């Protein structure tokens, strides 16, 4: 394999709601094939634009095999009914490092008495801006104009202007051997186009004619309302909530039994950088009732020693409940596939707020535990997955 940008600062990698917005490997390969004409000069393979994950993620063995032409691949913007879509070659983003700046501040209020100086407030996160200076590449002026319109359509969400997106970013190229493709990969949430896109071309002075243009510099800004950078969740513990009860039905008197299935538990250790938050996914199977999720000082402790608890009184068959402390959301998906806010499926002790579990580098380790109240509160089809998710400000 040629130099594939191993550990280099990556260029031109942006995916929004699973739609590829910019892929440097794709566009540079099109240009190396001469699809842009003689107006482009493209350097040899290597560096961030050729990062191998940008084609391995698409199931390809090589960059050359993966990117032949917008029509042959096809590229995400290609429309066989629009010839100009095959003449657009993609968007290159030379530098994305500003996306990873710190977005936090403290309010400072001048003191007029005492020692003077200022009172400095607590740290709080600001919205995360993703300023993007980019270049649209094409083989014709019609192609670059189509690319501009396609980009505007995808990022503006004209069908649902209130829709907010999930953006996938990469800060650096992971190892070329595929040993850790999550290296440098981050996600941001509640993302929308907030400025632009603006054509960053200075009009010619003195009435000079405007030449044909196959390269269009543009400027745009995406903003993430959720200011954190997130990694993918990592499963800590999972399994059936009641593995011993696989019978078709429980006898009526079974509900009088005091026996409980074993708890499923996971220890959350503090990370070196950032915060580890939990994502608990409960799948009801044939239905469940009276599930308690507890936050403990140590795994194996009694539920009576819990620092905080929540109870799920009932989940219908075929449903799923996700308690996501990383995003601070609860979502319920019914057997019909419709997803709604799931807070109504949770009961909390009087006076207790929702116990989001997030462990920072200054915190002590904690345990999250899930347990049914009785052996007949479900059968073995009810399952739980406890995952951790790293987030950084």
The pLDDT value recorded for residue 102 is: 81
Cα(93)–Cα(197) distance, rounded to whole angstroms? 13
The neighbouring-strand residues paired with 331 are 322, 341
Spatial contact of 258 and 374, defined as CB atoms under 8 Å apart = yes
DSSP 8-state assignment for residue 242: S
The pLDDT value recorded for residue 1 is: 38
The pLDDT value recorded for residue 301 is: 81
How many CB atoms within 10 Å of residue 322?
18
What is the mean pLDDT for each group of 10 consecutive residues in the chain (393 residues)? Answer: 58 93 94 85 69 92 94 97 97 91 87 88 90 94 95 83 89 89 94 86 55 80 95 97 72 57 95 96 95 94 86 96 97 97 95 93 94 88 96 92
Name residues whose C-beta falls within 8 Å of residue 16's C-beta, 6 or more positions apart in sequence. 154, 155, 165, 166, 167, 168, 191, 222
The pLDDT value recorded for residue 47 is: 60
Q: What's the number of CA atoms in the CB half-sphere (13 Å) around residue 379?
A: 13
Instruction: Compute the Cα dihedral for 195, 201, 202, 208 and give only its sign.
Output: negative
In the chain the domains, ranked by start, together with CATH numbers, are 13-230 (2.40.30.200), 234-392 (2.60.120.860)
CA 243 vs. chain centroid, Å, equals 32
Helix (H) or strand (E) holding 250: none
Spatial contact of 170 and 10, defined as CB atoms under 8 Å apart = yes
């Amino acid at each position: 394999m040629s130099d594939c940008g191993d550990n280099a600062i990556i260029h031109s990698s942006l995916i929004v709601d699973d739609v590829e917005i910019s892929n440097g490997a794709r566009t540079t390969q099109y240009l190396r094939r001469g699809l842009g004409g003689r107006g482009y000069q493209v350097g040899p393979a290597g560096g961030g634009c050729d990062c191998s994950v940008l084609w391995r993620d698409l199931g390809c063995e090589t960059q050359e095999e993966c990117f032949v032409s917008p029509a042959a691949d096809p590229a995400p913007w290609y429309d066989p009914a629009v010839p100009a879509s095959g003449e657009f070659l993609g968007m290159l983003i030379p530098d994305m490092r500003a996306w990873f700046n710190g977005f936090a501040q403290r309010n400072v209020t001048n003191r007029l008495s005492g020692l003077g100086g200022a009172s400095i407030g607590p740290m709080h996160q600001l919205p995360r801006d993703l300023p993007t200076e980019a270049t649209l590449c094409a083989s014709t002026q019609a192609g670059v104009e189509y690319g501009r319109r396609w980009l505007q359509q995808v990022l503006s969400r004209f069908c649902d202007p209130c829709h907010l997106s999930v953006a996938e970013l990469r800060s650096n190229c992971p190892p070329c051997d595929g040993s850790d493709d999550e290296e440098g990969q981050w996600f941001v949430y509640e993302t929308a186009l907030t400025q632009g896109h603006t054509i960053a071309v200075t009009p010619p002075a003195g009435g000079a004619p405007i030449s044909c243009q196959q390269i269009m510099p543009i400027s745009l800004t995406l903003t993430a309302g959720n200011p954190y950078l997130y990694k993918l969740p990592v499963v800590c513990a999972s399994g059936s909530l009641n593995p011993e009860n696989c019978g078709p039905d429980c006898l009526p008197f079974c509900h009088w039994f005091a026996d409980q299935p074993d708890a499923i538990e996971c220890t959350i250790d503090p990370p070196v950088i950032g915060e580890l938050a939990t994502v608990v996914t409960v799948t009801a199977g044939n239905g469940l009732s009276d599930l308690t999720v507890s936050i403990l000082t140590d795994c194996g402790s009694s539920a009576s020693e819990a620092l905080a608890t929540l109870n799920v009184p009932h989940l219908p068959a075929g449903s799923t409940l996700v308690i996501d402390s990383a995003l601070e959301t609860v979502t319920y998906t019914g057997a019909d596939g419709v997803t709604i806010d799931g807070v109504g499926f949770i009961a909390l002790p009087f006076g207790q707020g929702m116990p989001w579990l997030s462990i920072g580098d200054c915190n002590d380790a904690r345990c999250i535990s899930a347990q049914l109240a009785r052996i007949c509160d479900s059968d073995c089809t009810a399952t739980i997955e406890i995952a951790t998710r790293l987030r950084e400000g």
